Chain A
């Protein structure tokens, strides 16, 4: 048994036989042909193109009927490439002119075109290389007489292990007996992982060296935990049994999810709780409605920067995205957090300096204010997108009021600029800050005078308050969300917000933890923001709670010396053991 930690890119548990596939274009050799065979080679090429078109057409049909036309559109470009007479002519001319095999001619032609694509200096005009590569690979396969569906010959559930996967591979394999993807490279934002999520197939990326390790165990079994980014090679019987149980449990939960999205998030005593969506990627915007979230409580705009990296997103790209967020959130607000790079997140393009201690360094609002040129683009886009609805802006890692004031004066300047340019904009959007540093929690009464809302970011607040990095195995045990210090801070921030008459919500991982729900309601919170998929089950959790005794219980908890005492006390009140918890 061997465990590997990767990046969970599509949630759920998959258990199956390992099938490794190589997605490199096969080793292609240049084979000189006698002139007499050239005609036959050209015919062979045309036949392969024709077969590939038929295969792709069938695949597209299936994707359209099962996943809708948005994803099926991925194949449009490939079909057009296969129907591109000028391209096919180039290949044929090369076969005839150089007397070479079709595979070689195809690869050489594709590489030439690729080089010309790479030379184009406009980003969105340069993005077609994947389609071309994908098409060439299919044609080469077809030239070798390999079927696209050979996988069905493996019986039982299969987990695909690959160095990388193209979107069409993912779709094709996802509809076979494939139950999971283990990808050596790949990222959360690639088309392939988006398709895995749409197909609801667990996937783990970033499994460095997995192909190499599996080379020694051809008959391997594998468990993939796409939720936690885990791959377990050749699990023992106990581990298998444990993950099988978890899988059954998760499947049951997933079935109930959609059925429950229409439920009103209202407690037994009639308190309405607003459950909003945390969004990272544009692909998740549809999930806001799909899972019945009340608007967008946190859009992490740094993901736009990460996606566009190494370039910076343009003002138009910002506006377009914010507009779709605002529209998906209506009639509820969409809260857009200005980019929060730095810390652990990559900010190569924006940040030039390496820091000794990045978590305490130039990150959040500090970094944004330090780069006026980069930030101005985002501010202008926020002003422009605000005309489309209830767009709200939130600043990360604020610790002093001056940071808010500085932001406001930058917004004023950008607004004047837009007015001069005659562009439509709104200056009166609501402004909030993240409360994620103990300092800002403690002076939240003062900060409340500067803004319209707070959102408590518990992930950072816990690590700063307890001085614990939960990714550090030596101290991870000290990462305790129920530490009385946390409870005191939560209660204080909510109280200060209420007294100032401003809104307050919570958007850390605590929001999705069912064991924490009574605590959060007991602190006085009535707005929580979490991953859209987690909204329906939290609605159910909210509906089984009575808030009336909770304030008192939480107050008592915050006077207890340890997190363990708190947990015991909650158990006595029947509050700590909700089903479906992810609590550690």
Chain B
């Protein structure tokens, strides 16, 4: 299992469209991808899970990946979040 700590930096936070992108990204990998915020953790392949987390801009989250392609999964998810989900701000 590998883990990385990140901050949500896009202005709208993990809103519906960003959450959808995260699900699409995570679902492309075999590994289990978990999103942790505080003491809550959710499956990053679950749109409802991510949305229930309610992570606005500035939230500190951890990404945990476990499985055969865990390095690639972590890299992809990290890139998505640090790249502001492809949003302008």
Contacts and interface: CB of A to CB of B under 8 A. Distances in A.
A122 B23 contact: no
Contact of B43 (A85, A128, A316): A85
B20 A80 contact: yes
A77 B48 CA distance: 10
Contacts of A77: 16, 20, 47
User: Interface residues of A: mostly helix, strand, loop or mixed?
Assistant: helix
Nearest to B13: A125
Contacts of B49: 84, 86-87
A544 interface: no
B51 interface: yes
B47 A84 contact: yes
B51 A125 contact: yes
A212 interface: no
Nearest to B27: A83
A125 B15 contact: yes
Interface string B32-45: 00000000001101
Contact of A125 (B47, B48, B56): B56
A86 B48 contact: yes
Given A84-B48, A86-B48, A86-B49, A126 B43 contact: no
A81 B47 contact: yes
Contact of A132 (B12, B13, B48, B56): B48
A124 interface: yes
Contacts of A86: 42-43, 45-46, 48-49
Interface in B4-27: 11-16, 20, 23
Given A117-B51, A117-B52, A122 B13 contact: yes
A123 to B, nearest CB: 10
B54 A122 contact: yes
Contacts of B55: 125
A83 B48 CA distance: 10
A250 interface: no
A346 B52 CA distance: 32
Interface in A62-100: 76-77, 80-81, 83-87
A268 interface: no
Given A80-B23, A117-B51, A128-B51, A85 B56 contact: no
B48 A81 contact: yes
A125 B54 CA distance: 6
A327 to B, nearest CB: 14
Given A80-B23, A125-B15, A113 B48 contact: yes
A316 B43 CA distance: 31
Nearest to A115: B52
Contacts of B23: 80, 84
Given A77-B47, A86-B49, A126 B16 contact: no
Contact of B11 (A80, A85, A316): A316
Given A80-B20, A127-B16, A128-B16, A120 B48 contact: no
A97 B20 CA distance: 30
A113 B48 CA distance: 8
A127 B52 CA distance: 11
Nearest to A78: B47
Given A125-B14, A125-B15, A85 B52 contact: no
Interface in B39-86: 42-43, 45-49, 51-52, 54-56
Nearest to B47: A80
Interface string A98-119: 0000000000000001001101
Interface string A304-330: 000000000000100000000000000
A84 B52 contact: no
The listed residue with most B CB atoms (<10 A of its CB), out of A76, A86, A127, is A86
Interface in A105-153: 113, 116-117, 119-122, 124-128, 131-132
B52 A116 contact: yes
A86 B51 CA distance: 13
A85 B47 contact: no
Contacts of B20: 76-77, 80
Nearest to A113: B48
B36 to A, nearest CB: 15
A47 to B, nearest CB: 21
A133 to B, nearest CB: 12
A132 B52 CA distance: 12
Interface in A417-446: none
A84 B56 contact: no
A87 B49 CA distance: 8
A116 B45 CA distance: 18
A117 B49 CA distance: 10
B68 to A, nearest CB: 18
21 contacts: A77-B16, A77-B47, A81-B47, A81-B48, A84-B23, A85-B46, A86-B45, A86-B46, A86-B48, A86-B49, A113-B48, A113-B52, A116-B52, A117-B51, A119-B54, A121-B54, A125-B13, A125-B15, A126-B54, A128-B16, A316-B11
Closest 6 CB pairs of A and B: A86-B46, A120-B54, A80-B47, A122-B56, A86-B43, A116-B52
Interface of A: 76-77, 80-81, 83-87, 113, 116-117, 119-122, 124-128, 131-132, 316
Given A76-B20, A120-B52, 16 more contacts: A77-B16, A77-B47, A84-B46, A84-B47, A84-B48, A84-B49, A85-B45, A86-B45, A87-B46, A119-B54, A120-B54, A122-B56, A125-B54, A125-B55, A125-B56, A128-B16
